Structure 1
């Protein structure tokens, strides 16, 4: 059986340094993804993310940061599974950056396929929200997942 990886990518009309900073700096990331973080993403550090729609706090262990081209971290990407997330940035010139996210690996099982669907959707949402924020100053995530909060 092949292992499964969630993958998503998007092109953002901003310089690579701006996009990179929006990923590692919690004051930027809070405009499109998280509510709060205990710190900036730096190699060797563990930060804790809080998402606006959930009470849980998520520890994120930053493995490597190579400004401005990549960030690699581990987190509990599926219940009971520490998964590696790689974010790669490519300068496309003309004030444009391609961002690609890869998360994995999960077994090719029914549970793995369910994870793949959800996390691929989640990373596509992350990228779309980041694009909306960086290009247009729109906070797409705000209120978008309120329906998921316990009643």
Structure 2
């Protein structure tokens, strides 16, 4: 049984909502701040494979819903969770992005660790997106989060 606990991360990005939205839809942009490879652009009903090649990790995302410049909803996993990306235009050049994840299947200490990892991970994604879109800088945040040398 999935529990009702969820996580959320958010960030103001000083770019038009259309540009921020496209950064999450189009993997040619997303690779600059999140995953390193994708099997395709996000479209309703489509399942894409996201890869983090430096960690030899792959995950699937099945697009449930897209409302242009407002929302992207995916089933992400395994284990499968529902992730919703919301985009709110605050002005012509300011967008507030919220990432909400729910439907975790873990319990106890395992659930606590997943919640910590998800919150931190999505915060890192938003930080990287902000740096890339606002300043044209790829901070390599995802690659540098767990360098091999530090894991020995």
TM-score, length of structure 1 as denominator length: 0.89
What stretches of structure 1 of length at least 5 have no aligned partner? none
Q: Which runs of 4+ in 1 moved over 3 A?
A: 148-151
CA 1:70 to 1:48, structure 2 compared with 1: closer, same or farther past 3 Å? same
What stretches of structure 2 of length at least 5 have no aligned partner? none
1:39, distance to aligned residue in structure 2 (A) = 0.6
Size of the alignment, in residue pairs? 147
CA distance in 2, matches of 1:10, 1:65: 20
Deviations 1:7-55 (A, max 9, x none): 1000000000000000000000011111111110011000111113221
> Which residue of structure 2 lines up, in the alignment, with residue 29 of structure 1?
30
The structure with the greater share of residues assigned to helix is 2
Task: Determine if contact 2:80/2:103 at 8 Å carries over to the other structure.
Answer: no
TM-score, length of structure 2 as denominator length: 0.89
Task: Determine if contact 1:53/1:145 at 8 Å carries over to the other structure.
Answer: no
Cα RMSD (Å): 1.9
> Which residue of structure 2 lines up, in the alignment, with residue 86 of structure 1?
84
CA distance in 2, matches of 1:148, 1:115: 21
Determine if the alignment matches structure 1 residue 109 to structure 2 residue 118.
no
Task: Determine if contact 1:43/1:62 at 8 Å carries over to the other structure.
Answer: yes
